[in-house]
Amino acid sequence: MDEKQVQAAAQLLWNTWQAGDTIEQLPQECQPQSPADGHAIQAALQEVTGRGILGWKLAATNETAQAYLGVDGPMAGRLFEGTLAEPSGTVSLAKNHMRAVEVEMAFRMEKKLPVQSAPYSQADVLAHVGGLIPAIEIPDSRYTEFTKVGKSQLVADDACACCFILGDEAPSSWREADLAAHEVRLMINGELAGEGTGANVLGDPRQALAWLANDLASRGHTLRAGEVIMTGTVVKPAAIQPGDHVVGDLGAFGSLEIRLS
């Protein structure tokens, strides 16, 4: 894709996002033909928005989600300024079409991850992490049938980013905990709506973090101090509607809640 095509796709996606509309897919004249094209559009989306990024998110971090979306692996997206909502507050679903909620383990980077020639290990990345944070994501897509457009277009559309919420940082004991076995629950209106363990996120949320670091490095990016990394949903996404009260319960790591309007 040339720069004009990339910019046209990014502008269309952002206009659609802002209007709360959906499109069937990107027009043929500016449709990405590879994940690399999709990442180019996503990068241009940041330019079009004029917003900085608060961090990164991962989508499709387990086989069930990958099969549902029709992709062959995880996808990374940007967390734009203006998409972080306050915990214990109210989130509007007025422009949200997906109407789903996820509970995640997020990480806060304390130090910039230095560039290196060898792939990053979990230990390499964790040495630069400041904390673990209970998190909720309310994803969305700018495509009417997002399960049919394919990986390249989903990457272009910021990997279904929309809104996220962060709780208080977990006690430092998370560093010694078995995150793969750690249980997480999603409650909606006081009833259990989903539960799972950290193993649902690429086998371990720390592995998802390392995967992201290496994926970004392959495209000339690195994780920076202060950035938040949403590692992917631990529980199966659950349907939501206005009026719902949502609680993400990470047990010893803390919990957070939001109301939907």
Q: At 120, list the tokens.
A: 């990053």
pLDDT of residue 121: 97
Confidence of residue 249 (pLDDT cuts 50, 70, 90): very high
**Single-letter amino acid code for the residue at 43:** A
Reported confidence tier of residue 148, pLDDT bands at 50, 70, 90: very high
Q: Distance between CA 148 and CA 181 in Å, rounded? A: 33
Average pLDDT, rounded, for the chain: 97
Residues of the chain with pLDDT > 70, as a percent, come to: 100
Percent of the chain with pLDDT over 90: 99
Q: Give the model's pLDDT for residue 84.
A: 98
The contacts of residue 184 (CB under 8 Å, 6+ apart) are 103, 105, 195, 196, 197, 198, 234, 235, 248, 249, 250, 251
pLDDT at 27: 98
Q: How many CA atoms lie within 13 A of 66 on its CB side?
A: 12
H-helix or E-strand containing 7? helix 3-19
Burial, 25: exposed, middle or buried (Cβ in 10 Å; 0-12, 13-18, 19+)? middle
Instruction: Tell me the pLDDT tens digit for each residue of 173-207.
Output: 999 999 999 999 999 999 999 999 999 999 999 99
pLDDT at 198: 98
In this prediction, residue 82 has a pLDDT band, given cuts at 50, 70 and 90, of very high
Question: CA–CA separation, 43 vs 192, rounded Å?
Answer: 38
For the whole model, what pTM was predicted? 0.96
Confidence category of residue 32, pLDDT binned at 50, 70, 90: very high
Instruction: Tell me the Ramachandran region of residue 85: left when phi exceeds 0, alpha when psi lies from -120 to 50, beta otherwise.
Output: beta
Q: Which pLDDT band, with edges at 50, 70 and 90, does 156 fall under?
A: very high
Q: Are 208 and 231 in contact (CB under 8 A)?
A: yes
Side chain identity, residue 73: G
pLDDT at 166: 98
For residue 158, which of 231, 27, 61, 58 has the smallest C-alpha distance?
Answer: 58
